[in-house]
Structure 1
Amino acid sequence: MSPFIFATLLLLLGALWSFIHLRQATSSSPNHQKYGKKLPPSPPSLPIVGNLHLLGKLPHRSLQNLAKKYGPIMSMRLGYVPATVVSSPRAAELFLKTHDTVFASRPKVQASQYLSFGARGMAFSEYGPYWRNVRKFCTLELLSVTKIDSFAAMRREELELLVRSLKEEAAARGVVDISEKVAMVVENMTYRMLFGRSRDDRFDLKANVQETIRLAGAFNLADYVPFLGALDLQGLTRRLKATSKALDKILDIIIDEHVHEDNSGHPRHATDFLDVMLSLMNKSTNTHDELSYMIDPTSIKAIMLDMISGAIETSATAIDWTLSELVRNPEIMRQLQEELRSVIGVDEMVEEKDLAKLDYLDMVIKESLRLHPVAPLLVPRESMEDIVIDDYYIPKKSRIIVNSWAIGRDPKVWSDNAEEFIPERFIGSNIELRGQDFELTPFGSGRRGCPGVHLGLINIRSVVAHFVHCFDWELPNGMPASELDMTENFGLSAPRANHLLAIPRYRQVSETCEEVIL
């Protein structure tokens, strides 16, 4: 049978399946029979694809525009999957806090099967005993305040190397790829926590992680219109398989070398995260008995990939956008530099213990995360039962999409200047970033909120502070700040579409800085 005939038959069968599916859904819908309630407002849908065609290249922006017409709780049909899009703080609180237990699971998607090794990590696994044990394990063994603080000296070493390299670029008046510098320092800090060593030039784990984030955030036809999955019309299945294979090979090498105590000369932290996981698999510890019976090499790779992706891509993206906004707003940059000079002084480097004293830095980070949230659409949840919220019926197995990007730019919440970068809007505000204030939830909230918030904020604040404490920045070729390209790409995160390039000028703020970087 020719590919054309096969594709035609597949489409005809799909259309028939769609007709039967929709007819059954209409005649037996519990929407009216069981609850007597209506679905949330919804845009008109097309046969088979539903509302998928409305998502566009940047779905967070498209969904924001639709929400302006259909409301903060909006119903959509993504192929054959019912979805509810949430676009206001009040609505987010209902789904992420009030009814958190109903929406604590994740949908099964093709990306998690390939990139999370059968959804064996923490981010994409379904709600249940395995997920609870993995989350508890990761929180205690890597993401607790005590554990994170134990790596403070390591982070300082990496930041000193960053400052030294920037000093050399400043002396040469060279153009610095800030995005690359940021990614490298975050990558090294993460690898040293997880593996006990810095990045390995033998393989490009970062590039595969970035591809993972892009693919995991894509609206894949195979997830929403299953009969089209075999055609791989978007080419996503092919890319998922290739990335999964590459990651599997790299992680196997890292784990194997760890097991055999590779003597490569790289420094190792005595109790890195991989050591703990391997001891758990080998039953040499009784700290996490329940998980020890579930853990295996595949689970270890899935958990490691979650930790790498969460730590590297989200932190690097947040830092990149913050520095972009500071370069684009030189007066705000100067105010932040003045705070650093006032609090830190002119004879000291920024230390982690100083971060809590830097109020304006905190406001700058909050404002950046408001405009450029780590995940523009929070990782989708799935309803585990039928429920009525705000008089709207939400059926079981609905996909729940929280538009964090739209909430952060809602003029009803942030006033008419919501599109502008104004850190001062947080003066006197009690809004925090840890998932309790639904006007600003860049790390999610509830059971599925990011457990690495503490580590992420330390990385973001520390790196930003070091970039601006010792250096002034200007755009290449005399480019006006107002012309800086601020276009984003879409995935689980929304990084800059193009790297941030700028020229550093060493400010000679301290003798200690001079000692560190010479």
Structure 2
Amino acid sequence: MKRRISKKPNKNLPPSPPKLPLIGNLHQFGSLPHQSLWELSKKYGPVMLFQLRNVPAVVISSAEAAKEVLKVHDLESCSRPPLHGARKLTYNYLDVAFSPYGEYWREIRKICVVELFSMKRVQSFESIREEEITNMINSISRHSLSSPNSPVDLTEKLFAFTASFIFRIAFGTSFEGTDFNRNKFYELVHAAEATMGGFCAAEYFPYVGWIVDWLSGLNRRREKVFHQLDSFFQKVVDEHLNPGRTKSQQDDIIDVLLKIIKEQSGFGAAMLTEKNIKAVLLNMFLGGVDTSAITMIWGMAELAKKPSVMKKAQEEVRNIIGNKGSVTLNDIDKLQYLKLIVKETFRLHPAGPLLLPRESISRFEVNGYEIEPKTLIQVNVWGIGRDPKIWTDPDEFIPERFMDSAIDFKGQHFELLPFGSGRRICPGIYMGTTTVELGLANLLYSFDWKLPDGMKEEDLNMEESAGLSLSLSKRTPLELVPKKHLFA
């Protein structure tokens, strides 16, 4: 009698585009990966398998599949892949964003949520935010008075505002008190993003990839950025440890973290050192400077293309604020149309078009497809935000689509995920949205805006910047002509 040989059933893996020898699907990511992957998903479906040389990657491009990954199988998919740039800049994953799932990550996240980004902590920084918004409005006003009818570079003004705000709440000082100016600081933040977001051959080609990274100068650039950041962070931490330091009434982020180091109680595995502080500061800069500024820039650009929408928003804010002179945190919940504009900006222009990659911990299924352990998972929130199965006229900027809609961006509605969802949702969501809402509200309250002479709405360049950054900026600077409003 012949012995029957049992065969293991074939794994039901997600569909995959054709691969090339040696590199797999690396060539199909393109200069704007979120756009390339969205086009491929139309052919291969919302759950696609890519082979990035020796790394399997699954791309998620629908709200239903995103819910499966980020909610149903959150625990099985909530780690992070071992990225070389992140390892170096975060002192071997001592941060919250890139740290792999485990006891340390749970403890450091608890610190961030409870001590750094709680509603109470964010509100305690409100006077600093209001000061920096006033500085931005005054700067635009001076430009308007000295050069009437000439455009102002809103891209530069908004990046200056967010950089100054984050800098002050982190370090308790302005740029004037350090070796940095705004431009130098932003260049360093951008370089750090490029180091983390750029192609790293060593991640996909074991044993030989480091040679490519060495020849391309990636290793040298990474070391330079790390040295600059580390030196600056250490200098500021040392200043905070100086007993003779003149301290402001409000604790900054370093003060809070140093206090936790001193007490070292209640946080289990997260026995903090100065390296932990510096890793968390890096997250603040990468997550706080670019994303808020980019969202406001895209929002103002869309409003410039839709003057009727801008007029409606200005009427709302000016009717509610009256002649107070500025919009404050207490006013924000009254500005319901402004909140619709912010939601629509998050949908159409998420600052991070692909969520930070996850890595699966154990085997699970999405839409009936098997996801193996150690698979890199990318969620294309840009594509989900433009899915015609969810959104009517998905490429159009229509804030009214959110009127009488329960859809929000806080991680429970998978049609709109600018901050992610589940265990890995961005802990700074309240700080980010508050900064965006107040920044936009004050720009709309204080000025009437128009396009430069000779430019029509359809002439405004809305192309996305192709680059190595983790965030998605507008390709060209946004230049609009401001005219001071009488109330402001």
Equivalent of 1:407 in 366, 384, 401: 384
- The aligned residue for residue 3 of structure 2 is none
Report the Cα distance in structure 2 between the residues aligned to 1:262 and 1:422, rounded to whole angstroms. Answer: 55
Q: Secondary structure at the match of 2:483?
A: strand
Kindly state the Cα deviation for residue 143 of structure 1 after the two structures are TM-superposed: 0.5
Please give the per-residue CA displacement for 1:197-218, whole angstroms capped at 9, x wherever unaligned.
1224622232111222233222
Equivalent of 2:395 in 419, 437, 449: 419
Q: Does residue 371 in structure 1 map to residue 348 in structure 2?
A: yes
- The aligned residue for residue 449 of structure 1 is 425
Report the Cα distance in structure 2 between the residues aligned to 1:337 and 1:270, rounded to whole angstroms. Answer: 33
Report the Cα distance in structure 2 between the residues aligned to 1:84 and 1:269, rounded to whole angstroms. Answer: 49
Equivalent of 2:165 in 167, 173, 189: 189
Conservation of the 8 A alpha-carbon contact between 1:187 and 1:199: no
What CA RMSD, in Å, does the superposition of the two structures yield over aligned residues?
Answer: 1.9
Kindly state the Cα deviation for residue 367 of structure 1 after the two structures are TM-superposed: 0.7
Report the Cα distance in structure 1 between the residues aligned to 2:274 and 2:21, rounded to whole angstroms. Answer: 43
Conservation of the 8 A alpha-carbon contact between 1:205 and 1:247: no
Conservation of the 8 A alpha-carbon contact between 1:163 and 1:467: yes
Q: Does residue 325 in structure 1 map to residue 306 in structure 2?
A: no
Kindly state the Cα deviation for residue 287 of structure 1 after the two structures are TM-superposed: 4.8
- The aligned residue for residue 272 of structure 1 is 252
- The aligned residue for residue 516 of structure 1 is none
Equivalent positions of 1:422-433 (< 5 A) are 422-433=398-409
Equivalent positions of 1:251-262 (< 5 A) are 251-260=233-242
Report the Cα distance in structure 1 between the residues aligned to 2:266 and 2:255, rounded to whole angstroms. Answer: 14
Give 2:209's aligned amino acid: L
Report the Cα distance in structure 2 between the residues aligned to 1:218 and 1:139, rounded to whole angstroms. Answer: 29
- The aligned residue for residue 139 of structure 1 is 113
Please give the per-residue CA displacement for 1:326-357, whole angstroms capped at 9, x wherever unaligned.
12221111110011122222444211111111
Q: Secondary structure at the match of 2:101?
A: coil
Q: Does residue 496 in structure 1 map to residue 478 in structure 2?
A: no
Equivalent of 2:221 in 239, 242, 245: 239
Kindly state the Cα deviation for residue 446 of structure 1 after the two structures are TM-superposed: 0.3
Report the Cα distance in structure 2 between the residues aligned to 1:261 and 1:322, rounded to whole angstroms. Answer: 44
Equivalent positions of 1:177-256 (< 5 A) are 177-200=153-176, 202-203=179-180, 204-226=184-206, 227-232=208-213, 234-256=216-238
Please give the per-residue CA displacement for 1:120-139, whole angstroms capped at 9, x wherever unaligned.
11110000111111111011
Relative to structure 1, the CA distance from residue 459 to residue 158 in structure 2 (aligned partners, 3 Å threshold; closer, same or farther) is same
Report the Cα distance in structure 2 between the residues aligned to 1:279 and 1:321, rounded to whole angstroms. Answer: 38
Please give the per-residue CA displacement for 1:38-65, whole angstroms capped at 9, x wherever unaligned.
1100001111211000111000000001
Kindly state the Cα deviation for residue 371 of structure 1 after the two structures are TM-superposed: 0.8
Relative to structure 1, the CA distance from residue 383 to residue 475 in structure 2 (aligned partners, 3 Å threshold; closer, same or farther) is same
Report the Cα distance in structure 2 between the residues aligned to 1:34 and 1:430, rounded to whole angstroms. Answer: 45
Kindly state the Cα deviation for residue 424 of structure 1 after the two structures are TM-superposed: 1.0
- The aligned residue for residue 468 of structure 1 is 444
Report the Cα distance in structure 1 between the residues aligned to 2:75 and 2:191, rounded to whole angstroms. Answer: 31
Q: Secondary structure at the match of 1:476?
A: coil
Conservation of the 8 A alpha-carbon contact between 1:48 and 1:225: no
Kindly state the Cα deviation for residue 289 of structure 1 after the two structures are TM-superposed: 5.2
Relative to structure 1, the CA distance from residue 351 to residue 115 in structure 2 (aligned partners, 3 Å threshold; closer, same or farther) is same
Conservation of the 8 A alpha-carbon contact between 1:178 and 1:500: yes
Relative to structure 1, the CA distance from residue 102 to residue 285 in structure 2 (aligned partners, 3 Å threshold; closer, same or farther) is closer
Q: Does residue 288 in structure 1 map to residue 267 in structure 2?
A: yes
Kindly state the Cα deviation for residue 107 of structure 1 after the two structures are TM-superposed: 0.5
Conservation of the 8 A alpha-carbon contact between 1:379 and 1:401: yes
Equivalent positions of 1:11-22 (< 5 A) are none
For these two proteins, the number of residue pairs brought into alignment is: 473
Conservation of the 8 A alpha-carbon contact between 1:374 and 1:443: no
Equivalent of 1:176 in 152, 168, 173: 152
Kindly state the Cα deviation for residue 234 of structure 1 after the two structures are TM-superposed: 4.8
Equivalent positions of 1:48-63 (< 5 A) are 48-63=22-37
Report the Cα distance in structure 2 between the residues aligned to 1:396 and 1:220, rounded to whole angstroms. Answer: 22
Conservation of the 8 A alpha-carbon contact between 2:203 and 2:209: no
Report the Cα distance in structure 1 between the residues aligned to 2:365 and 2:163, rounded to whole angstroms. Answer: 44
Please give the per-residue CA displacement for 1:211-262, whole angstroms capped at 9, x wherever unaligned.
2223322242221222223222654333222211211122122212222267
Kindly state the Cα deviation for residue 168 of structure 1 after the two structures are TM-superposed: 1.1
Report the Cα distance in structure 2 between the residues aligned to 1:364 and 1:47, rounded to whole angstroms. Answer: 46
Relative to structure 1, the CA distance from residue 208 to residue 395 in structure 2 (aligned partners, 3 Å threshold; closer, same or farther) is same
Relative to structure 1, the CA distance from residue 166 to residue 442 in structure 2 (aligned partners, 3 Å threshold; closer, same or farther) is same
Report the Cα distance in structure 2 between the residues aligned to 1:262 and 1:492, rounded to whole angstroms. Answer: 39
- The aligned residue for residue 9 of structure 1 is none
Kindly state the Cα deviation for residue 379 of structure 1 after the two structures are TM-superposed: 0.1
Conservation of the 8 A alpha-carbon contact between 1:197 and 1:268: no
Q: Percent identity?
A: 40
Report the Cα distance in structure 2 between the residues aligned to 1:478 and 1:133, rounded to whole angstroms. Answer: 56
Q: Secondary structure at the match of 1:84?
A: strand
Report the Cα distance in structure 1 between the residues aligned to 2:349 and 2:312, rounded to whole angstroms. Answer: 21
Kindly state the Cα deviation for residue 484 of structure 1 after the two structures are TM-superposed: 1.3
Give 2:410's aligned amino acid: R
Report the Cα distance in structure 1 between the residues aligned to 2:249 and 2:298, rounded to whole angstroms. Answer: 31
- The aligned residue for residue 3 of structure 1 is none
Equivalent of 2:38 in 60, 64, 85: 64
- The aligned residue for residue 73 of structure 2 is 99
Which consecutive unaligned segments of at least 5 residues does structure 1 have?
1-31, 514-518
- The aligned residue for residue 5 of structure 1 is none
Conservation of the 8 A alpha-carbon contact between 2:56 and 2:375: yes
Relative to structure 1, the CA distance from residue 261 to residue 179 in structure 2 (aligned partners, 3 Å threshold; closer, same or farther) is farther
Report the Cα distance in structure 1 between the residues aligned to 2:121 and 2:221, rounded to whole angstroms. Answer: 36
Give 1:149's aligned amino acid: Q
Give 2:451's aligned amino acid: L
Kindly state the Cα deviation for residue 487 of structure 1 after the two structures are TM-superposed: 1.9
Conservation of the 8 A alpha-carbon contact between 1:85 and 1:402: yes
Conservation of the 8 A alpha-carbon contact between 2:201 and 2:212: no
Task: Output the TM-score relative to the length of structure 2.
Answer: 0.93
Kindly state the Cα deviation for residue 426 of structure 1 after the two structures are TM-superposed: 0.9
